[in-house]
Amino acid sequence: MGRAISLWAATLLAAGAFGQEFKLGSKVSDFGLRDVSGAPVAFGKLKGQVTVIGFIATQCPISNDYNGRMKALYTDYHPKGVHFVFINPNNTEPAGDVAQHTKQNGFPFAVYKDERNVVADRFGAEFTPEVFVVDSEGVIRYHGAIDDSRVEARVKAQSLRKALDAMLAGQSVEPARTRAFGCTIKRVKKTS
Amino acid sequence: MRRRDFLVAAGAAAALPGAESGLTPVDEAGYRRLLEAGRGKVLLVDFWATWCAPCRVDLPLLVKLEAKYQARGLKLITVSCDEPEQEADASRFLRQLRVSGPAYIKRSADDDRFITSVDARWSGALPALFIYDRQGRRAGSYVGESDKAAVEAALVKLL
């Protein structure tokens, strides 16, 4: 379930408190990220027919427990046309750490930096890992967890895979919402 | 033992003394019972996990708070949200901190239901602190890295 949450968040109980703009069923407008070299990248250039947007961390043990599963997802679904946009939103994990983490874990995908967790705020993302899946129109069709257990051997519900399979088959996603779990995102302190 | 069997067994064992780790498994019903059993005291319930860095920072502060206000009726209850694989580590950490109050470990057949039963607005994020007054009513909720001065002030109002 990352956590630089300050006083403003002391009584925080819902993702809506982050000023969530993109919600399940709503359309995602373009947003900006940075690659690990610091160059700006627009989401519009990364998205595909089906796009997984995953908030992940370098230091969160739960997020790291999913490293292998994220690689497997990419290996299984990228050839089917699914795009993956992994994002590190943690204020405590600089781009250099993200680049090193990506290399050390042999990720076959890029991980982008969300400076000042602006994108995480727009999605109302609270955890690493936490995923959103958007369709070709940019509409969020799935939001929640990758699966239902930190321990891979105890996974019973492959919720993200199920959502991707449904979308690739042109079917509705069910369940479209699951409870994400992991480390809370380490957000910047906002005084206003 | 299959996972479901384990969970059912854990649920049945809620509010009974724990196994070797010393942590008591707790599910939704067990949580309700522990709140009922704590009536007459002001309860500070801390949901934490060994993998949660801010939780590990918070716990010693909460232990100090309990020591400071124990005589006035404050009781600290810890609920570990660790997986079974981390249960021994959780127990060890609590022993190192000399946590004297009841120590539980979440073992519910349905995490969503458990989290909602504690507070429908809680996402499950850790650390999470819940304060209950002497009548067992929830009087405060703090999720994430919370201001301990604010937590203390809220407790003092109830004590």
The domain locations on chain A are 17-184
**What residues of chain A lie within 8 A of the CB of B146, using their CB?**
10-11
Q: How far is A57 from chain B (nearest CA, A)?
A: 13
Domain count along chain B: 1
Cβ <8 Å between A1 and B85: no
Task: Say how far apart CA A8 and CA A24 lie, in whole Å.
Answer: 25
Contact B104, B26 (CB under 8 A): yes
CATH number of A17-184: 3.40.30.10
Q: Which residue on chain B is closest to A10 by alpha carbon?
A: B146
Residue ranges in chain A whose pLDDT is less than 50? 1-16, 192
Q: How high is the pLDDT of residue A38?
A: 96
Cβ <8 Å between A1 and B124: yes
Q: How high is the pLDDT of residue B101?
A: 83
Task: Say how far apart CA A39 and CA B35 lie, in whole Å.
Answer: 52
Task: Say how far apart CA A176 and CA A25 lie, in whole Å.
Answer: 9
pLDDT in tens, chain B (159 residues): 333 333 333 333 333 334 456 899 999 999 999 999 999 999 999 999 999 999 999 999 999 999 999 999 999 999 999 999 999 999 999 999 999 889 999 999 899 999 999 999 999 999 999 999 999 999 999 998 889 999 999 999 999
Give burial (CB, 10 Å; 0-12/13-18/19+) of A65: middle
Reading phi first (left if > 0) and then psi (alpha if -120 to 50, else beta), residue B112 is in: alpha
User: pTM of the prediction?
Assistant: 0.86
Q: Which domain holds residue B111?
A: 3-158
CATH number reported for the structural domain that contains residue B89 in this entry: 3.40.30.10
Q: How high is the pLDDT of residue A191?
A: 62
